[in-house]
């Protein structure tokens, strides 16, 4: 029998069932998008009394793209042209011109990422397959601080809401990063890097409002403490309206509010030493519908209209010292506290992380990077009829070593490395990699890599249980559960990658990546045999392959017009070991939630010195989703196109007004059906305006 992933669903056993509405969409009429299009056309035709001048962003020579400094691939500064990995950099200007209001929305700018909005506060963000609300093979960091939850190994995106204007860049690696970043960096690494305090001096005030983003605000003030120390404070607040249910077109009851504040300080003790101290506090709350909501009495399955809330804070400190011969020592530590409450569970995490890194040159041909780390995770949970996770404290120890060898000066480099980790679940894990970079000419970079990465089990998969059905018995209420397995090993990936970057002209830049992933021990579930019952137990019983290509093309068509085209093709095939074809009683959500084709086209046009017009067109191929964790049924989400437009007016250097329209081609659009027990929600067309003032 083909068994279940969190989504490989057993037959429901409740005598009465509460199912989700169908995912079939129903168009709704609306005129707001027409008004926005008219405004954009008028803006295009507005005459300018000043001489037309291209924005600095559009006037940039695209050869500078190859010279962008990144840190996520080698865990130290290097040029994008020298990175033997599939990496894409989302700049602050990209974020600004896109008109997005959240980090997940900005991630859709990168090729190879599948980004879908589930509700006002929920997102599915994944790389190279395995999409889901708790996508667990993608490591997400903010300034090097891991933000995934150890309970499910996924990222709660409603808890990651730093001020967008303070982001310097987002480095998106598609492919494994376990050699440097450790377990869970399987299919990708996202590192959100904020600006240094000295780059955000003075004040910023931003206010916005619209039909969906009812209220959005941000404020920041940066100051110089002394000649060597700079600081900033920020505050952001958001109130987003609810969407609509896909079946009934009624209120989706998924509104969301967020409040976050934080600070950053940067200083230099002397020319060779620098330090950073930063922290955040946040609190948010949202509504949601849970159906079926399993209870221990008739009717067993109900609909629960409830709230979810989260709060927490973090503090990160780093110190770096460089010597005259180029050696560099970095110490970094962070403490992270989060508390999340939902109607089915409550979780509280306290995480302490310590990291040491040393970089040195061993002669003219070898560049060595090494490091060690320690992480302590303490999690406490509430126990309910729906979910049980035992309180626990877990430690993680790690060391890594990576050597970049110059085989041919300025032409050919070989990078070899490995990371060793010891965790309390699976013991010792090795994650080696080898990368080759060849630059046959100044404008060309060709690279290839072979790497092994692992994902260790989450707390739920190792020792937890969650309910997916309830039924009466002579002795009381019986439950069907997904049950943890303390004998489970790590999921394994062996990844083969190759890529090519070409600076064709100063106006044209091409980046291509190909990959083949060999997966083993991927988690599914099998019927529990000891003791035999109706429950499913987690097991590494799946294997398979994933392959595809990712393309990014930047074209500076003129001094006023810039175009960015991205395309991704991906295939994912999984099967239970020893059973080549899926049985009729099982559905592989990991395969059907992965779109085969994705494409994006962004255009940025400077109409004149004061007016800018930006457009973003996205195509997403058909996917499917399960409308209930308790039902073995799939509902298709047809292929669709998303169009965003925004018009920017800068009457003064310190003042900006922006009018934004999102999802303009559809009154509402179903983007994803979560594997959790919330009904399918269509994301409505959004129009909002905002004003930003720098002082």
* C-alpha–C-alpha distance, residues 591 and 487, integer Å: 26
Q: Does residue 11 lie in a domain region? A: no
3-state secondary structure of 172: strand
**CA dihedral over 172, 173, 175, 180, signed as positive or negative:** negative
| φ, ψ of residue 16 in degrees (nearest 5) | -130, 130
Q: Does residue 16 lie in a domain region? A: no
Residue 58: per-residue pLDDT? 54
| φ, ψ of residue 81 in degrees (nearest 5) | -65, -20
Residue 215: per-residue pLDDT? 95
Poorest-confidence range of 47-51, 85-89, 173-177? 47-51
**Greatest CA separation found in the chain?**
85
* C-alpha–C-alpha distance, residues 355 and 39, integer Å: 51
Q: What is the pLDDT of residues 226-266, one digit of tens each?
A: 999 999 999 999 999 999 999 899 999 999 999 999 999 99
Closest among 387, 364, 390 to 379, alpha carbons compared = 390
Q: Does residue 25 lie in a domain region? A: no
* C-alpha–C-alpha distance, residues 600 and 313, integer Å: 35
**CA dihedral over 75, 77, 82, 86, signed as positive or negative:** positive
Closest among 241, 214, 7, 207 to 121, alpha carbons compared = 241
Range 345-373 average pLDDT:
95
* C-alpha–C-alpha distance, residues 557 and 576, integer Å: 49
Q: What is the pLDDT of residues 574-604, one digit of tens each?
A: 999 876 544 334 456 788 998 999 999 999 9
CB half-sphere exposure, 434, CA atoms < 13 A: 3
Q: Which residue has the higher pLDDT, 552 or 152?
A: 552
Q: Does residue 4 lie in a domain region? A: no
Range 48-57 average pLDDT:
39
Q: Please, are residues 27 and 612 in contact by the beta-carbon 8 Å criterion? A: no
Q: Please, are residues 272 and 323 in contact by the beta-carbon 8 Å criterion? A: yes
| φ, ψ of residue 520 in degrees (nearest 5) | -145, 155
Q: Please, are residues 671 and 651 in contact by the beta-carbon 8 Å criterion? A: no
* C-alpha–C-alpha distance, residues 84 and 86, integer Å: 7
User: For residue 13, is pLDDT > 70?
Assistant: no
Q: What is the pLDDT of residues 640-678, one digit of tens each?
A: 999 999 999 999 999 999 999 999 999 999 999 987 778
Q: Residue 153 sits in which domain range?
A: 32-694
User: For residue 3, is pLDDT > 60?
Assistant: no
Range 318-340 average pLDDT:
94
User: For residue 464, is pLDDT > 60?
Assistant: yes
Residue 32: per-residue pLDDT? 44
Q: Does residue 7 lie in a domain region? A: no
Q: Does residue 1 lie in a domain region? A: no
Q: Please, are residues 622 and 598 in contact by the beta-carbon 8 Å criterion? A: no
Q: What is the pLDDT of residues 612-637, one digit of tens each?
A: 999 999 999 999 987 655 456 788 99
Q: Does residue 662 lie in a domain region? A: yes
* C-alpha–C-alpha distance, residues 458 and 384, integer Å: 19
Degrees (nearest 5) of the Cα angle 646, 39, 29?
85
Among left, alpha and beta (phi > 0; psi -120 to 50; other), residue 552 is: beta
Degrees (nearest 5) of the Cα angle 619, 622, 624?
140
Q: Please, are residues 312 and 293 in contact by the beta-carbon 8 Å criterion? A: no
Closest among 615, 617, 612, 600 to 560, alpha carbons compared = 612
| φ, ψ of residue 45 in degrees (nearest 5) | -90, -5
Q: Please, are residues 688 and 667 in contact by the beta-carbon 8 Å criterion? A: no
Identify whether 292 is preceded by a cis peptide bond (ω within 30 of 0): yes
Q: Exposed, middle or buried, 127 (CB in 10 Å: 0-12/13-18/19+)?
A: buried
What's the Rg (C-alpha) of the chain?
25
E strands, 382-424, in order:
387-388, 392-408, 412-423
User: For residue 271, is pLDDT > 80?
Assistant: no
Range 392-401 average pLDDT:
96
Give 215-233 as a DSSP string. Answer: EEEEEEEEEEEETTEEEEE
Range 557-569 average pLDDT:
96
> The domain spanning residue 193 has which CATH number?
2.40.170.20
CB neighbour list of residue 334: distance below 8 Å, 6 or more residues apart: 145, 314, 315, 316, 317, 351, 352, 353
Q: Which residue has the higher pLDDT, 456 or 2?
A: 456
Residue 179: per-residue pLDDT? 87
Range 353-376 average pLDDT:
94
Q: Strands 532-556 and 476-483, how do they pair?
A: parallel
Domain count, the chain: 1
Closest among 358, 356, 377, 353 to 369, alpha carbons compared = 358
**CA dihedral over 12, 253, 29, 683, signed as positive or negative:** negative
Poorest-confidence range of 13-17, 91-95, 472-476? 13-17
**CA dihedral over 149, 569, 105, 20, signed as positive or negative:** negative
CB half-sphere exposure, 284, CA atoms < 13 A: 28
Q: Please, are residues 677 and 292 in contact by the beta-carbon 8 Å criterion? A: yes
| φ, ψ of residue 691 in degrees (nearest 5) | -125, 135
* C-alpha–C-alpha distance, residues 444 and 438, integer Å: 8
Q: Exposed, middle or buried, 154 (CB in 10 Å: 0-12/13-18/19+)?
A: buried
User: For residue 44, is pLDDT > 90?
Assistant: no
Residue 325: per-residue pLDDT? 85
Degrees (nearest 5) of the Cα angle 495, 499, 504?
170
Closest among 496, 549, 450, 433 to 128, alpha carbons compared = 549
Q: Does residue 628 lie in a domain region? A: yes
């Amino acid at each position: 029998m083909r068994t279940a992933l969190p989504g490989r669903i057993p037959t429901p056993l409740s005598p009465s069932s509460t199912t989700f509405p169908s995912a079939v969409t129903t168009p709704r009429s609306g005129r707001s998008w027409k008004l926005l299009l008219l405004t954009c056309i008028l803006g295009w035709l507005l005459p300018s009394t000043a001489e037309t001048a291209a924005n600095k962003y559009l006037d940039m020579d695209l050869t500078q793209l190859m010279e962008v400094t990144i840190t996520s691939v080698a865990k130290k500064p290097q040029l994008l042209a020298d990175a033997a990995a599939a990496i894409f950099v989302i700049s602050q200007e990209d974020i600004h011109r896109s008109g997005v209001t959240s980090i997940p929305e900005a991630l859709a700018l990168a090729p190879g990422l599948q980004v879908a909005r589930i509700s006002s506060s929920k997102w599915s963000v994944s790389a190279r397959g395995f999409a889901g609300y708790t996508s667990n093979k993608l490591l997400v960091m903010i300034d090097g601080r891991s933000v995934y939850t150890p309970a499910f190994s996924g990222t709660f995106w409603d808890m990651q809401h730093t001020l967008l204007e303070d982001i310097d860049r987002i480095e998106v690696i598609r492919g494994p990063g376990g050699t440097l970043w450790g377990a869970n960096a399987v299919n990708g690494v996202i590192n959100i890097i904020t600006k240094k305090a000295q780059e955000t001096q003075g004040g910023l005030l931003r206010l916005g409002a619209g039909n969906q983003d009812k209220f959005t605000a941000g404020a920041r003030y940066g100051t110089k403490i002394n000649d060597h120390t700079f600081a900033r404070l920020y505050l952001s607040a958001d109130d987003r309206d609810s969407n609509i249910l896909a079946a009934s077109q009624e209120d989706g009851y998924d509104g969301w509010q967020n409040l976050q504040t934080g600070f950053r300080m940067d200083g230099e003790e002397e020319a060779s030493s620098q330090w950073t101290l930063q922290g955040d506090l946040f609190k948010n709350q949202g509504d949601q519908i849970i159906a079926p909501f399993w209870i221990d009495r008739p009717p067993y399955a109900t609909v629960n209209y409830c709230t979810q809330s989260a709060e927490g804070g973090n503090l990160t400190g780093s110190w770096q010292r460089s010597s005259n011969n180029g050696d560099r020592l970095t110490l970094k530590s962070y403490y992270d506290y989060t508390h999340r409450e939902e109607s089915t569970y409550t979780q509280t995490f306290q995480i302490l992380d310590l990291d040491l890194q040393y970089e040195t040159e061993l002669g003219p041909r070898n560049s060595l990077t090494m490091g060690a780390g320690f992480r302590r995770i303490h999690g406490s949970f509430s126990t309910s009829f729906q979910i049980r996770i035992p309180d626990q404290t877990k430690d993680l120890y790690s060391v890594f070593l990576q050597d970049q060898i110059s085989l041919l000066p300025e032409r050919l480099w070989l990078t070899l490395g490995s990371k060793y980790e010891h965790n309390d679940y699976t013991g010792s894990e090795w994650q080696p990699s080898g990368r080759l970079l060849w630059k046959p000419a100044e404008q060309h970079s060709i690279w290839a890599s072979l790497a092994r990465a692992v994902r260790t089990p989450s707390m739920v998969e190792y020792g937890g249980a969650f309910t997916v059905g309830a039924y009466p018995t002579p002795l009381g209420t019986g439950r069907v559960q997904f049950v943890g397995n303390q004998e489970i090993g790590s999921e394994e990936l062996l990844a083969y990658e190759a890529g090519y970057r070409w600076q064709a002209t100063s106006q044209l830049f091409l980046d291509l990546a190909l990959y083949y992933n060999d997966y083993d021990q991927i988690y599914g579930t099998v019927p529990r045999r000891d003791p035999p019952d109706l429950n499913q137990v987690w097991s590494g019983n799946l294997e398979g392959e994933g392959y595809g290509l990712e393309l990014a093309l930047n074209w500076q068509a003129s001094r006023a017009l810039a175009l960015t085209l991205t395309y991704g093709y991906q295939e994912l095939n999984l099967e239970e070991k020893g059973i080549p074809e899926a049985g009729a009683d099982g559905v592989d959500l990991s395969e059907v939630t992965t779109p085969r084709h994705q494409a994006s086209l962004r255009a940025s046009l400077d109409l004149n010195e004061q007016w800018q017009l930006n457009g973003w067109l996205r195509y997403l191929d058909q996917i499917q989703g399960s409308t209930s964790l308790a039902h073995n049924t799939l509902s298709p989400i047809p292929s669709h196109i998303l169009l965003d437009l925004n018009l920017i007016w800068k009457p003064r250097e310190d003042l900006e007004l922006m009018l934004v329209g999102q999802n303009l081609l559809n009154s509402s659009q179903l983007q994803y059906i979560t594997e959790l027990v919330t009904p399918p929600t269509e994301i409505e067309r959004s129009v909002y305006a905002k004003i930003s003032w720098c002082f």
